[in-house]
Amino acid sequence: MILNNTLKLLLVALACSCSSEDGGFVPKPKGFNEINLPEHKYQLLDEEELPYSFEYSTQAVIEKDTVFEEKKKFYKILKYDDLGCNIHITYKSIKQSIDTLNSLVREGFRLRDGHDKKAYSFAEKYAQNGKGYNVAIFEIEGNVPSQYQFMVHDSVNHFLRGVLYFPIATKNDSLRPVIEFAKEDMRHLINTIRWK
């Protein structure tokens, strides 16, 4: 009985000493790091040699894809250094060939399907942007390196593909705010694409 009362008294004293009012330690609930996202602002990418233009985030820096530079001279990388992600832009000329268009679309689906092993769901959307260009958007859920992809084409001359990549291995739940931020930027890019 005395041991029982002593134990109760000890527990009450311990609980009182853990009060946060006196600056004592209070354990934090389990969670993720806070990510402070900037405001969405855009600027025009309109380089003379490119067969396209679009608006992209002021948070991103444009770089050339330097692998096989001549073959991929219209490829760009939008680097979000502060957010730790990149958007890879690839462009191909269709040259009025339905076979070329079909091949590029199949390749886009094949690359999307490469995430099958780690993805637990795919969402596909098909529409036209404000300029009447055909758009396919793929949202991929799971711990995959690319959660958002799109293809835009005019069925005749131009085909552009965009892919969101995170070059770091992090659980996508902790990246959710950044993914949503980048997806909004990519939707803006899609709606502002113009062919030259």
- Per the model's pLDDT, the better-predicted residue between 122 and 51 turns out to be 51
Three-state DSSP at 54 gives strand
Cα 171 to Cα 27, 32, 123, 140, 186: the distances in Å are: 23, 10, 20, 14, 21
Q: Is 52 inside any structural domain?
A: yes
Residue 78 belongs to a domain: yes
> Count of domains in the chain?
1
Q: What CATH number corresponds to the domain at position 131?
A: 3.40.1000
127, β-bridge pairs? 135
Q: What is the pLDDT of residues 44-72, one digit of tens each?
A: 999 999 999 999 999 999 998 776 666 68
**Is position 10 within any domain?**
no
Position 12 in a domain = no
- Report, in this order, helix, strand and coil percent for the chain, each rounded to 5: 30, 30, 40
Is 132 a member of any domain? Answer: yes
Average pLDDT of span 110-139:
85
Q: For residue 162, how many other CB atoms are within 10 A of its CB?
A: 22
pLDDT score for 102: 94
User: pLDDT tens across 145-178, in order?
Assistant: 788 999 999 999 999 999 999 876 556 667 888 9
36 is a domain residue: no
